[in-house]
Structure formats: structure tokens, C-alpha cells
């Protein structure tokens, strides 16, 4: 979690927050780091700055909430897909440099769904996101630059070879889950639970899920912590409100 994430979740949790309240909730962050992060959030129009005679406060914008919800959507995707009969999906695109912003946006969207890069401009997932992907393709106006192929006809050996060749960083993903599980267990044993800390942990889990390919259990590497992290998330979410 970055200071940007912390401030966004904190502002959303309280709707409107003052500098004093930010300092109380983020005591380990310096005033300079907080001020810099608030400036970045304001410039990106994720929060608004309100100045009154006696105080300065910050309010989350619709764009800020949309950014949070976009990350949290990874939890819904995981819940919806974890028991699906999976089918492999390949996305092939050749988007020229003049459309760089669309290319970057599309690549980031695929990553948020858990796609991994098989080769340059060839991305793969073990789930079918055909309708969602085509909506995004239409929004970005890259219909003639992207090909989507789906298949369920892969043997177990072929599936494993495909996973081995794709650039999912399992070590990094598992390390993030380990950190999340450790923080969550500490939260659950703490008598003074706050909605902010609960929402922060839910967001942290969701952010890691965006990098997780959400493979069926029989295809996951041994000791993958996705399932354990999800079970803890289900315990924590009730403290968010």
C-alpha cells in the first residue's frame, strides 16, 4: 500500500478529512510526504481541496471513488470466477505508438483482470472475459487492433506449459498475501477495530488480487495463499461499515 492508497481510502472512509485528522490516522508519515501525496491526488482530481477561514479539508471526488471501486472489483471477479469451469483466453494486439495512451490503458486493464504476458503483445488468462474485454476495446476505439481467442481444449500438460511460460510473478504475489495475512490477523485480535483499518485491509487484498491470475486451484503453484487471504477478507469486510 502506498501513501496515495492510504489517503484515498482514508478520505473515502470519512467523506471529508482535515490535515489534523490525516496526521492522527497516519502518525508514521511525515508532513512533507503527506503534503506531496495530497498534491498528487488533487492534481489528478481524485480529491478536492476545500479551504475555509479556519481549516483546510479534503473531499474524495467521483473519480477517486471510481478508482477505489475499480480495484475492489478484483474481489468480485475472483468470487465470480473461482468456481467457474475455466477456459483459456488469449488476447493478441498490435497497437501502434501513435495510440500509446490506448495501448497502455488496454494493457493495464488486462493486468487488472489477472492476465499474464505470454509473449510481446500476447496475453493470457484462464478465465473468459470476452464481453468485458470487448466493451473496453470499443471504449478505447481499438476494434481493428485486437484479437480475442478462447479455448477449453487444452490438456493438463499444455495448461502447465502455458503457465510456466507466462510472466506471473508468484513469489511477489505470495509475499504480498503473506504481509496482508499478518496485518489482518493482528487487526482481528485487536479490540479497537476501526472501519478505516478494515477498509484499508480490504483494499490491500483487492490490490494484490489484481496481479493474481486467479487460476483454478488444481493449477495453482503449491503453497499459494490466495484462498487463505480470501477467507480472511471475508472475516474483515464486516468491520468496514
The residue that leads in pLDDT, 199 or 128, is 199
71 in a domain, yes or no? no
Distances (CA, A) of 12 to 5, 20, 21, 64: 11, 16, 13, 8
Residue-number span of the structural domain to which 189 is assigned: 170-239
Rounded to whole angstroms, how far apart are CA atoms 74 and 91? 19
Say if 160 falls within a structural domain: no
180 lies in some domain:
yes
Average pLDDT over residues 94-107: 90
CATH number of the domain enclosing 16:
1.10.10.10
Residue 135 within any structural domain of the chain: yes
Q: Is the dihedral of CA 138, 140, 143, 147 positive or negative?
A: negative
Same domain, 144 and 103: yes
∠ CA 90-101-118, nearest 5°, is 25
Domain-embedded: residue 211: yes
- Confidence at residue 235, expressed as pLDDT on a 0 to 100 scale: 94
Global pTM reads 0.85
pLDDT in tens, 30-62: 989 999 999 999 999 999 998 887 788 999 999
Condensed to tens digits (0 to 9), the pLDDT of residues 154-167 reads 888 888 898 989 98
214 pLDDT more than 70: yes
CA distance 168 to 160: 13
Question: What pLDDT shows up at residue 121?
Answer: 86
- Choice between 238 and 78, residue whose per-residue pLDDT is larger: 238
- Please say which residue of 117, 151, 185 terminates a domain: 151
Q: pLDDT by residue (tens digit) across 170-179?
A: 999 999 999 9
User: Alpha-carbon distance 19 to 150, whole Å?
Assistant: 50
How much is the mean pLDDT over the chain? Answer: 90
The answer to the question of residue 65 being in a domain is no
Check pLDDT > 70 for residue 85.
no
**Residue-wise pLDDT tens digits, 6-31:** 999 999 988 888 888 898 889 889 98
Q: Residue 86 pLDDT > 80, yes or no?
A: no
For the chain, the domain total comes to 3
Same domain? 185 vs 147: no
**Total length of the chain:** 241
What pLDDT was estimated at residue 83? Answer: 62
State residue 203's pLDDT score.
95
Cα–Cα distance measured from residue 10 to residue 58, given in angstroms and rounded to the nearest whole number: 10
Residue 102 within a domain: yes
Amino acid at each position: 500500500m502506498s501513501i496515495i492508497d492510504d489517503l484515498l481510502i482514508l478520505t473515502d472512509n470519512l467523506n471529508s478529512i482535515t490535515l489534523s485528522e490525516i496526521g492522527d490516522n497516519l502518525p508514521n508519515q511525515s508532513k512533507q510526504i503527506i503534503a506531496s501525496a495530497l498534491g498528487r491526488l488533487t492534481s489528478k482530481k481524485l480529491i478536492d481541496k476545500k479551504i475555509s477561514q479556519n481549516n483546510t479539508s479534503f473531499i474524495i471526488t467521483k473519480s477517486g471513488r471510481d478508482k477505489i471501486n475499480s480495484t475492489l472489483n478484483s474481489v468480485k471477479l475472483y468470487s465470480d470466477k473461482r468456481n467457474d469451469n475455466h477456459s483459456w483466453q488469449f488476447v493478441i494486439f498490435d497497437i501502434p505508438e501513435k495510440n500509446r495512451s490506448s495501448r497502455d490503458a488496454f494493457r493495464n486493464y488486462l493486468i487488472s483482470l489477472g492476465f499474464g504476458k505470454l509473449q510481446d503483445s500476447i496475453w493470457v488468462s484462464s478465465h473468459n472475459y470476452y464481453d468485458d474485454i470487448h466493451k473496453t476495446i470499443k471504449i478505447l476505439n481499438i476494434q481493428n487492433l485486437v484479437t480475442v481467442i478462447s479455448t477449453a481444449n487444452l490438456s493438463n500438460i499444455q495448461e502447465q506449459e502455458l503457465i510456466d511460460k507466462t510472466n506471473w510473478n508468484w513469489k511477489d504475489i505470495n509475499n504480498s498475501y503473506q504481509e496482508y495475512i499478518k496485518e489482518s490477523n493482528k487487526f482481528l485480535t485487536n479490540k479497537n477495530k476501526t472501519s478505516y483499518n478494515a477498509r484499508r485491509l480490504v483494499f490491500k487484498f483487492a490490490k494484490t488480487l489484481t496481479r493474481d491470475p486467479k487460476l483454478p486451484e488444481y493449477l495453482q503453484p503449491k503453497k499459494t495463499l490466495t484462498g487463505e487471504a480470501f477467507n480472511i477478507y471475508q472475516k474483515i469486510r464486516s468491520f468496514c461499515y
